Amino acid sequence: MGYAMFMRRSRSVCLILLAGGVAVSLAGGCESRQAQLQRECAAARAEMRPDAEQICARSVSRSYSSSGGGSHGWWFFGRSGGSSSTRTASAFSSGRSGASATSARGGFGGTASAHGGASS
């Protein structure tokens, strides 16, 4: 069919992490992820979809919880490095008798210093 058959002028490009929710496109504004999830929840309930409650559960529990925002002042999120994962370690909890309390680090990354980035 080809790409050129599709109308592209209506597309809206939004950046949440990089531009704090600012819409890049003139074609429309950016809907926050929370608003989108709530809209999807309302639609699912109205349509009486069997997975409606699962969809609606996402709109209650989800939030932008990313951290590791790096050194640039305009990043939407805060501190650099570090993890804010809210998921428990249960999927990895079996057979942990060989795991140490403090991980060794620095085992990746050594090649990068000679190459100045991974770009290809």
Count Cβ atoms within 10 A of the Cβ of residue 37 and give its class: 0-12 exposed, 13-18 middle, 19 or more buried.
buried
Is 48 near another protein (CB under 8 A)? Answer: no
Yes or no: say if 29 and 12 are a contact pair by the CB < 8 Å rule.
Answer: yes
Compare residues 47 and 74 and give the one whose CB is closer to another protein: 74
Is 10 near another protein (CB under 8 A)? Answer: no
Compare residues 46 and 89 and give the one whose CB is closer to another protein: 89
Yes or no: say if 20 and 76 are a contact pair by the CB < 8 Å rule.
Answer: yes
Yes or no: say if 4 and 32 are a contact pair by the CB < 8 Å rule.
Answer: no
Kindly write out the interface string for residues 81-120 of this chain, putting x where it contacts another protein by CB under 8 A and - elsewhere. xxxxxxx-x-xx--xx-xxxxxxxxxxxxxxxxxxxxxxx
> Which residues contact another protein by CB under 8 A?
2-4, 6, 8-9, 11, 13-19, 22, 24-27, 33, 37, 58, 62, 64-70, 72, 74-75, 80-87, 89, 91-92, 95-96, 98-120
